[in-house]
Amino acid sequence: MKFMIASDIHGSVWYCAKMLEAYKREEAQRLILLGDILYHGPRNDLPKEYQPKQVIAMLNPMKNEIYAVRGNCEAEVDQMVLEFPVLADYGFFLCGSRAIYMTHGHHYHPGNLPPMREGDVLLYGHTHVLKAEKMGAFYQVNPGSVSIPKEGNPPSYAIFENNTFTIKTLDGEVLRTLTLS
């Protein structure tokens, strides 16, 4: 199965549209959203074309394709308007005997790991900084931010297929690749 992973849309209809174009182009079967879907947050400037209601209208028709976790900007009111679950602090799926732990990154992150076994993957957002690397006995993957990237990174997302994470720009340019061994 091919997964597309994105984080930190922050209510930008412009970047959400670019992300969904990439999702269709990639022909992924599921979209994993790592939080901060609708609200820009008090620490961020407004992203380009900040229109959370339009983002809702774009994502709700895809409710059966989306797995999402709660970001630090999600609130119960977001769940009232989104037709897919967004209030779980974490989720996980298995890839063989390996667990891929999905979280936003404000509670669990490389400095505060959730319960993990050797070879597991921490998949998180929050920092708006892309990463794909082995971290001791574990792997960490951060797809960066769709709408408000930091540290000179472009807007980005990740693909997970055949035990490989590939981080790409919204135009599909490969930025990083990490194959799980």
List, for residues 40-68, the tens digit of each pLDDT value.
Answer: 888 888 888 999 999 999 999 999 999 99
Assigned CATH for 3-151: 3.60.21.10
pTM to 2 decimals? Answer: 0.96
Domain extent listing, the chain:
3-151
Report pLDDT for 21.
Answer: 98
List, for residues 3-12, the tens digit of each pLDDT value.
Answer: 999 999 999 9
Q: Measuring CA to CA, how many Å separate 70 from each of 1, 38, 106?
A: 23, 11, 10
Choose among 166, 172, 35, 168: nearest CA to 108.
35
